[in-house]
Homo-oligomer: A and B are copies of this chain.
Amino acid sequence: MASRRTIVFENKPVITGSYSIVGPKEGKGNFASYFDYIMNDDSFGEKTYEKAEKKMLEHAINGAVADAKIQPEEVSLLLSGDLLNQIISSSYAARNFDVGFLGLFGACSTMAEGLAIGSAMVDSGYFDHVVCATGSHFSTAERQFRFPLELGNQRPPTSQWTVTGAGACVLSKQGSGPRVAMATFGKVIDYAVVDVNDMGAAMAPAAMDTMLTHFRETNSSPDDYDLIVTGDLGKLGSEILIDLMEMSGIKLGLNYNDCGQMYFTRNQNTLSGGSGCGCSATVLNSYIISKLRKGELQRVLFMPTGALMSTTASQQGETIPGVCHAIVLESDVKPKGGGVQSQDIKKTTSASKGGSKIQKRKGG
Contacts and interface: CB of A to CB of B under 8 A. Distances in A.
A185 B117 contact: no
Contacts of A128: 3
Contact of A73 (B3, B50, B311): B3
Contacts of A185: 76-77, 100-102
Stoichiometry, copies per complex:
2
A334 interface: no
Interface stretch (A118-126, A253-261, A290-298): A118-126
A239 B128 CA distance: 36
Contacts of A323: 91, 94, 101, 103
A151 interface: no
A interface residue count range (under 10 / 10 to 19 / 20 to 34 / 35 or more): 35 or more
A127 interface: yes
A101 B94 CA distance: 23
Interface in A192-215: none
Nearest to A101: B188
A104 interface: yes
Given A104-B103, A323-B103, A3 B74 contact: yes
Contacts of A73: 1-3
Contacts of A184: 100
Nearest to A1: B73
A48 B310 CA distance: 15
Contact of A124 (B88, B102, B123): B123
Give 5 closest A-B pairs by Cβ, nearest first. A100-B185, A124-B124, A86-B310, A94-B188, A91-B308
